[in-house]
Amino acid sequence: DAGVIQSPRHEVTEMGQEVTLRCKPISGHDYLFWYRQTMMRGLELLIYFNNNVPIDDSGMPEDRFSAKMPNASFSTLKIQPSEPRDSAVYFCASTYTGELFFGEGSRLTVL
Binding-site member from 23, 26, 36, 48 for other proteins (CB under 8 A): 48
Distance of CA 66 to the CA centre of its chain: 10
Binding mask 66-85 for other proteins (x = CB under 8 A): --------------------
Please count the residues of this chain forming the interface with other proteins, following the rule CB under 8 A.
Answer: 22
CB 99 to other proteins: min, Å: 5
Name the minimum Å distance from CB 103 to other proteins.
Answer: 5
Site for other proteins in 6-35 (CB under 8 A): 31, 33, 35
Among 21, 23, 95, 110, binds other proteins (CB under 8 A): 95
Instruction: State how far the Cα of 110 lies from the Cα of 60, in Å rounded to an integer.
Output: 18
Examine residue 81 and say whether the peptide bond preceding it is cis (omega within 30 degrees of 0).
Answer: yes
User: Which candidate, 41, 19, 45, 43, places its Cα nearest to that of 31?
Assistant: 45
The number of residues in the chain equals 111
DSSP assignment, residue 85? G
Query: Is residue 104 a contact residue for other proteins (CB under 8 A)?
Result: yes
